[in-house]
Amino acid sequence: MDSALIPEGAKRCSFPKFYMGIAVVGAVVLWGLLAWGLIYWKGLNQTNMNDYYGFALWIWADLAVIAVGGGAFFTGLLKYIFKIDELKNIINFAVIIGFICYSSALLILAIDIGQPLRGWFIFWHANVHSMLTEVAFCLSFYFAVLTIEFIPNILENRQANKVSFFHHLAHNMHGIMVIFAATGAALSFFHQGSLGGVAGVMFGRPFSFREHLNIWPYTFFLFTWSAAAFWPCFTLLVTKITETITGKKLVGDKTVHLLSKIAGWMITSYIIAKIIDTIYWATVTAPSLGFKWTHFYSNNALYGKWMLFTELILCGVLPGVLLIMKSTRENSKLRLLAIILGVIGVCLNRWVMVLQVMAVPVMPFDTWALYIPSWQEMATTILPVAYGIILIALTYRYLPVFPQEQELNYPVEEEAVDEPVVAPAAEPVAATE
């Protein structure tokens, strides 16, 4: 039914099977929309946020998707500025993942602000002393950059590309993509950093407060660094999931090994910096504010030293080492283990920097304040995941996302196209399985 829209030569599942799958995920989207509607109708009392938790599940999800979605800016930087051409095989998918992550972050913020009709105030009545204003600016414009990077891929759809204007527009946008990529990299650097900076400047929260380099706390640099370090893990993980579902090899081993190697060195360098930062905080910063570091990991049911060990060693040092060593990096099972641990590690770091910060007692009369999100918060947090699955499914089906798909999956048919007299039936067609 939709074979005219499917990229030439690509094989996709049947139309009913595809949309049955979309309908299942669509049900989750509806559940999220119901919760969203309730929150807009009845207000933020639908959440379990309170005076302790002004930042809660949504802000963690926001920071986590922004961290793992940082792949788009870093891939763009490496591909267009540093000219690492091998990344052309995954740049489209990295952009799509980034687009999903950043649109999800904006969607979550749109739910979180409570009064959406006043959402534009942050641009018009900007508080120029606020790091979060910078985050809002950079996030919005970086999303615009991602949209611009995504548009040429959409215009390369088989039918859209037949329109001469779209064809030329896509070509011209590719031509000056370096400018958009450079703008995106600058914007992304600042907002990743500022998200970390917010935690680091909170003097009244000694668990997250850090020493500064000029006006920037160390967390500013650690957040940017960690986003740049862990994005390949998420990009590779989503690629692996897509390959498993489609039953096809979509990205060549050379590209996967290169990304894994980049991840390994970035994670290792980041985690060394993070461990040094943690030791300095535990031995100098926290005592100078009147606390022993063990205070932040005791007398509560959830946040123990195991969390620090999991974040730094299990999900930091281990994936870094596994991805640095060639033998483990090129072993598909160990590589998968490393990238899963990496994704968990960066998400755990954001959890600690948002939710553990809120949970820690800071007054002598305070106790630990633990928090369980309401179903409305959970549904609206799962909503972007379902939306992401749908968008990946649609782009995979209708757009030429993976330039290597043909050569990795149908090499015989490609050869046959060169010799139409011998194998006339093997000409590329938009076949459906």
Partner 1 sequence: MLPFCFEWVWDLGHVLFIGGLLFAPIGILGAGLTYCAVKAAYETINDSGESHH
Contact 200, 219 (CB under 8 A): yes
Confirm or reject binding of residue 363 to partner 1 (CB under 8 A).
Answer: no
Q: What's the CA gap between 202 and 208, in Å, rounded?
A: 7
First to last CA, the chain: 13
Range in contact with partner 1 (rule: CB under 8 A) among 19-27, 172-180, 248-256, 274-282: 172-180
- In the beta sheet, which residues pair with residue 216? 213
Contact residue for partner 1 among 3, 172, 299, 332 (CB under 8 A) = 172
Among 11, 167, 261, 295, indicate the residue that binds partner 1 (CB under 8 A). 167
Cα atoms in the Cβ-side hemisphere of radius 13 Å centred on 377: 21
- Minimum CB distance to partner 1, residue 330 (Å): 33
Nearer of residues 156 and 377 to partner 1, judged by Cβ = 156
List the x/- string, 174-193, binding to partner 1 by CB under 8 A: xxx--xx--x---x--x---
Contact between 169 and partner 1 by CB under 8 A: the answer reads yes
Task: Tell me which of 19, 31, 141, 291 binds partner 1, using CB under 8 A.
Answer: 141
Among 68, 96, 148, 236, binds partner 1 (CB under 8 A): 148
* Residue count, binding to partner 1 (CB under 8 A): 31
Query: Segment near partner 1 (CB under 8 A), from 137-145, 216-224, 276-284, 406-414?
Result: 137-145
Regarding 97 and contact with partner 1 (CB under 8 A), the answer is no
Q: Name which position in 6, 91, 97, 170 contacts partner 1 (CB under 8 A).
A: 170
Q: Which residue has the tokens 């006339």?
A: 424
By CB under 8 A, residue 144 contacts partner 1? yes
Q: Determine, following the binding rule CB under 8 A, whether residue 126 of this chain makes contact with partner 1.
A: yes
* Among the residue ranges 26-34, 110-118, 163-171, 269-277, the one whose residues contact partner 1 (CB under 8 A): 163-171
Which of these segments, 3-11, 117-125, 331-339, 387-395, binds partner 1 (CB under 8 A)? 117-125
- Using the contact rule CB under 8 A, the part of the chain among 50-58, 170-178, 359-367, 377-385 near partner 1 is 170-178
**133 is a contact residue toward partner 1 (CB under 8 A):** yes
Per the structure block, which two tokens stand in for 254? 């050379």
Q: Which stretch binds partner 1 (CB under 8 A): 82-90, 120-128, 225-233, 276-284?
A: 120-128
Using the rule CB under 8 A, which residue among 41, 54, 82, 125 binds partner 1? 125
Among the listed residues 51, 83, 85, 164, the single contact to partner 1 using CB under 8 A: 164
Instruction: Label residues 374-405 b or e (16+ Cβ within 10 Å = b).
Output: bebbbbbbbbbbbbbbbbbbebbbbbbbbbbb
Closest residue by Cα to residue 397 from 4, 12, 8, 9: 12
Among 118, 171, 305, 326, binds partner 1 (CB under 8 A): 171
Judged on CB neighbours under 10 Å (0-12, 13-18, 19+), 63 is buried
Q: Is 129 an interacting residue with respect to partner 1 (CB under 8 A)?
A: yes
Q: CB 73 → partner 1: shortest distance, Å?
A: 13
CB of 165 to partner 1, least distance (A): 5
CA separation for the pair 319, 339 (Å, rounded): 7
Q: Does 261 sit near partner 1 (CB under 8 A)?
A: no
216 binds partner 1 (CB under 8 A): no
In whole angstroms, the minimum distance from the beta carbon of 120 to partner 1 comes to 11
278 lies in the site for partner 1, by CB under 8 A:
no
Residue 24 found at the interface with partner 1 (CB under 8 A) = no
Binding site for partner 1 (CB under 8 A): 123-126, 128-129, 133-134, 137-138, 141, 144-145, 148, 164-165, 167-176, 179-180, 183, 187, 190
